[in-house]
Structure 1
């Protein structure tokens, strides 16, 4: 995978997201360039979705351009309009859209969240939230379009959980956060590889899929979202086979009244060896780890379940049979009670 993300024998590729104005990213995958607003609207809609596109100032030079490459539910895009324009696609429906400005600014509203993007802030659009945007004159962005089903599949693999609702991200991307800086570096390398033809080579299909899945998984880890509680796990490094099997078994049976012997049997080892493995790698017992998984899952359900689902039902679904003990353990871990979490609205 790393070979695809750097220039063989010549060091790294030049950063395509910092190219000269006359050589925008993904230029070899040119889609269109037009000064006609209606034509631009129709051509962009073919790759994304229907939308309203209106100029905000007649004196600006309208010069729309799109470059686009990819497939299999993940597409790299470069777009500019030149002029100050308002774009209203409503709900995107079938895809997420990560937008990274390389020049200029944009004003984004996705759901209830408003974001002003530029050199320090990027954005991600949730597909089930109404979107309205204003790209100011001179704004140019590199976009990563990810199919909703593909992102959900990667999220369910990462969390080991069948998700109750769509993943919803905080629309504001802080480009200064260390986790996001690492992801943006990976994204830049992927765009560079696409620009130089390496990543889309049919002979590299497997490596390409690995890069794309890592882009999706990395973004899920880096950007705050509704599944953040499910990604908060004690491990910071690789796990032994026995510990990993035990973790996966526990994750798949959170609602069941598991015993240490059952977990050890599923992991293919003895209770004593499993205890030692968890102590050495995670500095906790298997049952303490199980409690962390259950509390994280309960937090996810409290945020995502409909109001008519009771806290007692959520506690049961997460494997807690005693509501009082669940509430105490929950408050000890998260600094607030389950009812407080329930009252909060995820502002997306």
Structure 2
């Protein structure tokens, strides 16, 4: 999806600064994001920096340009995620061990706990969504229905993919609504919070991340009360040694009836659903904390009592062994 920019910069009436002074630009941008290095790659380029910004409840919308070819090195962002969508030009983005060439067809997502270094080429202009780390964590845990470790995203976001393109349109719609005075008005009401939660939730659904496997489970709104009770028990106690009879007792139904309901809704039985949740949680732990824990530790932490069966089941579910997931470091 190629994003076209109007002649007037986005959020033009929300101007923070416009300057030809590198130090001034670094100081003001640093106040809104974090301290960072900002260096010109060539003294021949015309440095013409500008930032427009509309703060919200736990996110902010931004437009930034520097005019010249610049190198930006904030290190670890620490407290926030930053989604950068070029509307003109290109940039090279390194976040952790992952590097992407970003342009109007490839946006970038900076994970807060990974070292970041960027080169914005002359003429690059980007719109940016800043999301507080704790807010995204809260939304992810609400969606997954359980406490989670750190959430990391794949750094490159392909705006040509249908689900990514839909999310970008949603983001651009918020920019338009903000310019029309309908969103990000400085009023911290329930509507603003709902807008931001929906935007973050749809990002978690469309962009690969360390909790993607946990978000694949879908419960229909019309699911019977019996099924909802069973799912509630599984989500709350899947790390414990529970079995089919425990689930049936909590759901107040028979094993046969519960098997029929699960098969109808999910195409699998309740015990398989339980095992799949444990495997999905193990994948989350390996992707989020795999460099700090052994595979055996992750197996135990995700409710698996038999290491061999865990490894076999994991490879059947995800097409790679737990050690391969651990070594890949897909998310930086």
Provide TM-score, normalisation by structure 1: 0.87
Gaps of 5+ in 2: none
Contact 2:48 2:67 in 1 (8 A): yes
Residues 271 and 202 from structure 1, CA distance in 2 versus in 1: closer, same or farther, beyond 3 angstroms?
Answer: farther
In structure 2, relative to structure 1, the CA distance for the partners of 1:272 and 1:281 (3 Å cut) is same
| Contact 2:110–2:116 (Cα < 8 Å) also in 1 | yes
Instruction: Indicate the SS of the match to 1:173.
Output: strand
User: Displacement, 1:277?
Assistant: 2.1
CA distance in 2, matches of 1:306, 1:339: 9
Q: Does 1:190 align with 2:174?
A: yes
Query: How far did residue 269 of structure 1 move?
Result: 4.8
Q: Which residue of 2 aligns with 1:321?
A: 305
Matched with 1:337 is 321
Which sections of structure 1, spanning at least 5 residues, go unmatched? 1-16
Residue in structure 2 matched with residue 20 of structure 1 by the alignment: 6
Summarize the Cα distance change of 1:340–1:324 in structure 2 as closer, same or farther, 3 Å threshold. same
Match of 1:130 in 2: 115
TM-score scaled by length of structure 2 = 0.91
Q: Alpha-carbon deviation of 1:19?
A: 4.3
Instruction: Please report the RMSD computed on the Cα atoms of aligned residues, expressed in angstroms.
Output: 2.2
Q: Is the 8 A contact 1:102 1:142 kept in 2?
A: yes
1:1-348 alignment, distance < 5 Å: 18-21=4-7, 23-164=8-149, 166-201=150-185, 205-233=189-217, 235=218, 237-238=220-221, 240=223, 241-267=225-251, 269-305=253-289, 309-346=293-330, 348=332
Shift of 1:292: 1.0
Taking a change above 3 Å as real, the CA distance of residues 337 and 83 of structure 1, as seen in their structure-2 partners, is: closer
Per-residue deviation, residues 250-309 of structure 1 (Å, max 9, x unmatched)? 122122121223223434555444333212211211111111111111222233345574
| C-alpha separation in 1, matches of 2:47 and 2:122 | 9
- 1:9 maps to which residue? none
User: Hey, what's the Cα distance between the residues in 2 that align with 1:259 and 1:221?
Assistant: 30
